Structure 1
Amino acid sequence: MPAAPVPLSARPVHEARALVGESPLWDAREGLLWWTDIPRGELHGFDPATGRDALRAVFPGPLSAVALRASGGLLLALGDTLAGYRPERGGEPEPLARVRLPGPDQRLNDGRCDPEGRFWVGGMSTAGASGAAALHRLDGTSLTTELTGVSISNGLDWSPDGRLAYYADSPTREVAVYDRTGPALRRTGTLARVTDGVPDGLTVDAEGGVWVALFGGYAVHRYLPDGTLAAVVEVPAAKVTSCAFGGPALETLYLTTASRGLTGAELREQPLAGSLFACAPGVRGLPAHAFAG
């Protein structure tokens, strides 16, 4: 009989009322955890050494994903545009590529760099259209569409050896497993099927465990590569949007949450909705890959 999942709990480290907090990213160069509030176009930097969060930039459009850039600074997903940005310099982002989205109700959503330094980013319909989006890959300035028929492209990360990709198209309620050793992604199975909430952002730890944020589920789940539910992080906010390891030793799991769409009563019941949380899970994460372009 499989062991019961380890119960864990998250604590607030920065109390905020983000509409849709997203894309937590540890930057060892700066000693900061970057994260965004998508609809407000806000880029935040949280310093765990001081416990302070600073609003570093505001952009005129949705800021859905952030990645490190090997040449310095960050790569941003802004609406339909992928752009370089130097937070220490400010100014305007440097457009690198524009994604041709199928309609005006589409925008880019979650994204992450792979071990080869390529940035993967998917889209979604803000009107709720099903199967209208796609998953794209930016290699330098070359953009390739890797998957089509996507509804809400969310969590994506790689196994420690880089051979597998874990991916969540949220409305499917599944975390899919893909083989990435060939020229194209090839689906090989399903890691987990979610019943409480829907899978949103995810991250892989150094032992190969997959941590999945459950939007609407008040939790983050850790799955072993064989699909066993190994740990459950309870979060005092329903809409958990993403997770990432951070801190100097990558021993802290940071979680972003959302408050948009909650009723007045729900907001009173969830005063920390939209805040940034942290958990000590007992395992370490992996360093974030940087965009090589």
Structure 2
Amino acid sequence: MTAVHQARAVLETRAVVGESPLWDAREGVLWWTDIPRGELHRYHPQSGRDTLRAAFPAPLSAVALRAHGGLLLALGDTVAAFRSDAGDTGDTSTTGATEPEPLARFALPSADHRLNDGRCDAQGRFWIGSMSTTGESGTSALHRIEGAGGAAHVTTVLTGVSISNGLDWSPDGTVAYYADSPTREVAVFDCTGPGLHRTGTLARFTDRVPDGLTVDAEGGVWVALFGGHAVHRYLPDGTLDAIVAVPAAKVTSCAFGGADLRTLYITTASRGLSEAELGDQPMAGSLFACEPGIVGVPPHPYAG
């Protein structure tokens, strides 16, 4: 029987497009972004405080940990290293931070393209996809970055992508799950060779769009459903195992966090909703959470 859980709002805010929730055990906080505003947020669960760490002029679509401290950010057409050195003031104003240091800049097809979702694998490499902001089909890609500074090396892994979104790996690293959102499916790839070899489809959707996703310690795949008011958990054989109902339609991503990695954090968006829809969804754009009884996997840091 499919388990059903209810998400609760832990931070009532009106993010335009909340994204990239990332648990940082070093500080006991959850990082998350508001993409079009270029905002990097730091949410502290114990106090319930959310601090705006930085606001950038470019869209901030993804954030990852760095093994040597600090963060990796996907900003517009650039992946950059970033360190926020100021202490937590406990308010919601912007705190002091260093300037991001470019690690890799991408020659995207046009000014109407930008980087989108990204994640590090167990080898400490950062995978980052791109997208067209005007709905152009098949003109984007999925890339992999490794190395530091001027020695960073970029490999293009997949081409012909439209909106590169959720990506994560099975606990043993042999299988990857990936969502190119307009395809309305989560694809399955074999990772035992030098590249990605598609082997099948985990799930298909008709009236909702797969966005960000994460894999738990048991190998279950949690998929945020944009337009679906939910996060779904699928077993590796494609069985729908659990549903997390979210009181906001545009669910964008999810990640496990907390000291025991038992809390599923969920980001949402408010962009594009009419006044009537915003009235029906007063918590659209908020940060949600639930405890579904499953343990997550710590995020891998970037090795460079």
- How do residues 75-154 of structure 1 correspond to structure 2 at under 5 angstroms? 75-88=72-85, 90-140=97-147, 141-154=152-165
Paired positions, count: 290
SS at structure 1 position matched to 2:16: coil
Once residues 254 and 37 of structure 1 are traced to their aligned partners in structure 2, the CA distance between those partners, rounded to angstroms, is 15
Give the superposition deviation at 1:87. 1.4
The reply on whether 1:36 has 2:43 as its aligned counterpart is no
1:204 counterpart (215, 237, 243): 215
Give the superposition deviation at 1:71. 1.0
Give the superposition deviation at 1:196. 3.5
1:83-142 Cα distance to aligned partner (Å, 9 max, x none): 000012512101001011111100000000001000000000001100110000001100
- Structure 1, unaligned runs of 5 or more: none
TM (norm. structure 1) is: 0.98
* Residue of structure 1 equivalent to 2:231: 220
Once residues 50 and 231 of structure 1 are traced to their aligned partners in structure 2, the CA distance between those partners, rounded to angstroms, is 29
RMSD between superposed Cα atoms in Å: 0.7
Give the superposition deviation at 1:195. 2.6
Give the superposition deviation at 1:239. 0.1
Divergent runs of 4+, >4 A: none
* Residue of structure 2 equivalent to 1:55: 52
Farther-moved stretch of structure 1 (91-100 vs 110-119): 91-100
SS at structure 1 position matched to 2:182: helix
1:228-264 Cα distance to aligned partner (Å, 9 max, x none): 0000000000000000000000000000000000000
Would you say the 8 A contact 2:85–2:98 is kept in 1?
no
Amino acid at match of 1:232: I
The reply on whether 1:248 has 2:259 as its aligned counterpart is yes
Once residues 261 and 196 of structure 1 are traced to their aligned partners in structure 2, the CA distance between those partners, rounded to angstroms, is 17
1:11-34 Cα distance to aligned partner (Å, 9 max, x none): 000000000000000000011100
Would you say the 8 A contact 1:196–1:214 is kept in 2?
no
* Residue of structure 1 equivalent to 2:198: 187
1:280 counterpart (286, 291, 294): 291
TM (norm. structure 2) is: 0.95
* Residue of structure 2 equivalent to 1:156: 167
Would you say the 8 A contact 2:164–2:179 is kept in 1?
yes
Give the superposition deviation at 1:154. 0.3
1:239-293 Cα distance to aligned partner (Å, 9 max, x none): 0000000000000000000000000000000000000000111000000000001
2:240 counterpart (229, 252, 263): 229
Would you say the 8 A contact 2:78–2:104 is kept in 1?
yes
SS at structure 2 position matched to 1:101: coil
Give the superposition deviation at 1:38. 0.1
Once residues 266 and 174 of structure 2 are traced to their aligned partners in structure 1, the CA distance between those partners, rounded to angstroms, is 26
SS at structure 2 position matched to 1:291: coil
